[in-house]
Amino acid sequence: MSSKNDWRAPRGTHDILPQDESLWRYFYETVEWRASGFGFGRIETPLFEAPEVFTRALGETTDIVQKEMFEVRRATAEDSDETSSYILRPEGTAGVMRAYLENGMQVWPQPVKLWQYGPMFRADRPQKGRYRQFWYAGFEVIGDADPTTDAMAIFLGWQILGDLGVRDAVVVDINSIGDAVCRPKYKKALLEYYEPLKDKLCATCQTRLDKNPLRLLDCKEEDCEKLKKHAPQVVDFLCQNCREHFRIVLETLDELGVRYELTSTLIRGLDYYTRTTFEFRIEDDERRQGSVGGGGRYDGLLEQFGAKSTPAVGFAFGVDRVLELMQEKRAPVPPLPAPDIFVVQLGDRAKRASFNLIAQLTDEGFNVTIQPGKDSLKAQLRLADRGGVRFAVIIGQREALDGTAILRNMNENTQETVDQSDLVDLLKKRLAEPFEQRERRIAEEGEDVN
Ligand code: AMP
């Protein structure tokens, strides 16, 4: 049975409409330009993967794995596929690691730097800035243990936020959560602190205590927040190597002028992080939208896939949140180029000729538009006017037969008959012509005004 709701986008998803195209495109092009400038290659992985890719990488006790994964299976029963159930990717790093191994990237010159862009899916409770399908721009540097690489990743994000005009609104929260050498000692200290306070914790944290005490620092419940304040701090437990690593990361960020705050409770929701963790946080985040991006070092992740230990660091932007911030801060976004030319066709023969003409004009790099469903000259010219195009090319029956066209300057309401073969050169000249030059030409040559 169909109801009105069947025709709505699913909860937590939204359409991206043409009026927002300039914003989305500007984000993508900026990221593409910066990422390739920093030597990152573009990777695309499937939207869904085998469940193990995520359960192994993210950790069984994480919120994403326990509560937020969407399952994909074939709708019909006769599925003979061995893996009949998949997971819609909730984040990008796990899939990229799977692709790194599957495509033999271990033998490429290291580090391998990859970036990706696309939708992610989490069965989160939707609210402003939190969607079930959200866009994600992720960056990974695989095969490099150097602490300056962590700083480079953060700096890349910092640069992109600067390019997009929102860097002043953002600060980098940063922490080190140690490694396999020092983290167990910290976990033990956390357990010792929280055990006697167990009754005061929220229900979720009570279950987290045994499985993954670090996650207690992530909790936003009021009572847990209070207890967090006096909990042991991870920096006091870092081993010599982790401390040295963190020192160099921070020194490099200082030199690069990145604004950061040491945040000892930042452990992030995923199990795969080691040492550096960071988030790009909105500074005056009254609506508590959370971070516009985040990441960290994940030296142990590839081992989870059964590969040899490979150091890596990465981060991702939540694109929807960055764009919301850009809109809030009224960051300037270049408008999309308006169409240059409207092709007006009058009659069947002209319509067919005009399609060829459009192909030819777009080959030359012009932005062309047409409304083949409209037949009257007046209606088409009105549309051309509303669309803000500078020139209309009018083809009627006669023009279609003798290979000519009427070139109409929409701003000046002037027109001339030209050979179709001259049209491209003429349009190039006219569209490139600066204002003063055009005024001079008109003064010298006159213009056949209709
Ligand atoms: P995470 O993998 O959780 O660190 O996510 C990376 C970034 O994606 C975050 O910093 C957010 O900006 C964004 N993000 C995460 N979950 C959502 C969501 N449900 N809706 C919108 N953006 C999200």
What would the pLDDT profile of 308-335 be if each residue is shown by its tens digit? Answer: 999 999 999 999 999 999 999 999 999 8
Q: How far is the CA of 293 from the centre of ligand 1 (A)?
A: 7
What is the per-residue pLDDT for 171?
96
Quick count: other Cβ atoms within 10 Å of Cβ 146?
Answer: 16
What is the per-residue pLDDT for 343?
95
Q: How far is the CA of 318 from the centre of ligand 1 (A)?
A: 5
Q: How far is the CA of 317 from the centre of ligand 1 (A)?
A: 7
For the segment 170-184, the average pLDDT, to the nearest whole number, is 94
Residue 374 buriedness (CB in 10 A; 0-12 / 13-18 / 19+): middle
Ligand 1 atom, smallest distance to 316 CA: 6
Q: How far is the CA of 370 from the centre of ligand 1 (A)?
A: 40
Mention every residue, 6+ apart, whose C-beta is less than 8 A from residue 366: 340, 341, 427, 431
Least confident of 190-194, 378-382, 444-448: 444-448
pLDDT of 118 strictly over 80? yes
Angle at 131 between CA 74 and CA 272, to 5 degrees: 80
Greater confidence, 374 or 248?
A: 248
* Secondary structure (DSSP) of 38-103: TTPEE----SEE-HHHHHHHH-TTSHIIIIIPPEEE-SSS----SS-EEEE-S-SHHHHHHHHHHT
Chain CA centroid to CA 348, Å: 44
Residue type, 195: E
Calculate the dihedral angle through the C-alpha atoms of 7, 9, 10, 13, rounding to the nearest 10 degrees: 180
Which residues line ligand 1 at a C-beta cut-off of 6 Å?
91, 122, 124, 129-131, 134, 136, 269, 291-294, 316, 318, 320-321
Model pLDDT for residues 375-405, shown as the tens digit of each residue = 899 999 999 998 889 999 999 999 999 999 9
Structure tokens at 77: 């029963």
Kindly report the protein residue whose alpha carbon is nearest to atom 10 of ligand 1.
293
Kindly report the protein residue whose alpha carbon is nearest to atom 1 of ligand 1.
294
Q: How confident is the model at residue 450 (pLDDT cuts 50, 70, 90)?
A: very low
pTM score, whole prediction = 0.87
When the pLDDT of each residue in the chain is averaged and rounded to a whole number, the result is 90
Q: Torsions phi, psi of 237, nearest 5? A: -110, 0
Q: How far is the CA of 160 from the centre of ligand 1 (A)?
A: 17
3-state helix, strand, coil split of the chain in percent (to 5) is 45, 20, 35
Ligand 1 atom, smallest distance to 90 CA: 2
Kindly report the protein residue whose alpha carbon is nearest to atom 2 of ligand 1.
91
Q: How far is the CA of 98 from the centre of ligand 1 (A)?
A: 21
Q: CA 69 to CA 88: how far, in whole Å?
A: 7
Ligand 1 atom, smallest distance to 293 CA: 10
What is the per-residue pLDDT for 449?
38
Q: CA 117 to CA 35: how far, in whole Å?
A: 11
The end-to-end CA distance of the chain, in Å, is: 60
Mention every residue, 6+ apart, whose C-beta is less than 8 A from residue 289: 128, 129, 130, 282, 321, 324
Ligand 1 atom, smallest distance to 131 CA: 20
Q: Collapsing DSSP states into helix, strand and coil, what is residue 118?
A: strand
Least confident of 91-105, 143-157, 356-370, 430-444: 430-444
Greater confidence, 81 or 112?
A: 112
Q: CA 431 to CA 210: how far, in whole Å?
A: 70
Kindly report the protein residue whose alpha carbon is nearest to atom 8 of ligand 1.
318
Ligand 1 atom, smallest distance to 321 CA: 12
Kindly report the protein residue whose alpha carbon is nearest to atom 15 of ligand 1.
318
Q: How far is the CA of 297 from the centre of ligand 1 (A)?
A: 17
Q: CA 312 to CA 306: how far, in whole Å?
A: 15
Ligand 1 atom, smallest distance to 322 CA: 12
Angle at 354 between CA 407 and CA 347, to 5 degrees: 95
Q: Torsions phi, psi of 316, nearest 5? A: -140, 150
Residue type, 136: Y
Q: CA 409 to CA 391: how far, in whole Å?
A: 5
